[in-house]
Amino acid sequence: MFDWFHWLNLAGVAVCAISGTLMAYQKRMDGFGVVVLASATAIGGGTLRDVMLDVPVFWIADTDYLYTTLIAAFVPIIWLRISPRFPFHYLLIADAFGLALFNVVGIEKALANDTGMAVAVAMGTITGVFGGLLRDVICREVPLVLNGELYAMTCIAGGIVYGIALEFDLATQWCGIAALATTVVFRLGAMRWHWQLPVFYNDHH
């Protein structure tokens, strides 16, 4: 796989490991809890994706991802030891960027394994949301993917943009950047302005 994909995947793992570590800090977990939560957030979605695609699980095939998870988990630990007043809104921002990075990784890995675009979008969404879902379930929080604001839909939007860019024969890097930007903008916009796709309405007349 080309270097762009490898470094993108490492970046996604690092960002999501940081997100998991920050959540572990909020829940006052011990060292083992930090490792478990950081790892679940960082590699959970990619693991499910690879199992579904019937390919070698990425972190077993390349232990760089495990080392990246552990190193990234120590970054907020060191920060919080120096300054315990950590701005925790960064947790949601880190989650948004991790979501977008893993979305692109999932799309590109699916396409590299000769799936259609629809399956690639699904794999991108699974890669993006499943690690965060595991993190929130372990912490007994309502998963972000279910909380009403746009979450999984931002991955789908990014995947559609990727497919459109691909139809215009743009280079893979530009398709990825377009999908990444779309996912981040939609997720941050949903956080800021509470964008939703309501299905049921509270009409008690």
pLDDT score of 87: 67
Could you tell me which residues come within 8 angstroms of residue 12 by beta carbon, excluding any fewer than 6 positions away? 42, 98, 101, 102, 105
- Where do we find the tokens 């990727």? 162
- In the predicted structure, residue 115 carries a pLDDT above the cut 70: yes
pLDDT score of 202: 60
Give the C-alpha separation, 139 to 197, whole Å: 26
Q: What percent of the chain has pLDDT over 70?
A: 94
Average pLDDT score over the chain: 90
Residues 5-44 pLDDT 10s: 788 889 889 989 988 998 998 899 999 999 999 999 999 9
- Taking 3-state DSSP, the helix, strand and coil percentages for the chain, each rounded to the nearest 5, stand at 75, 0, 20
Question: What is the three-class DSSP state of 137?
Answer: helix
Q: pTM of the prediction?
A: 0.89
What would the mean pLDDT of 155-178 be, rounded to a whole number? Answer: 95
Q: Which two tokens stand for residue 172?
A: 């893979």
Residues 125-138 pLDDT 10s: 999 999 999 999 99
What pairs with residue 196 in β-bridges? 149
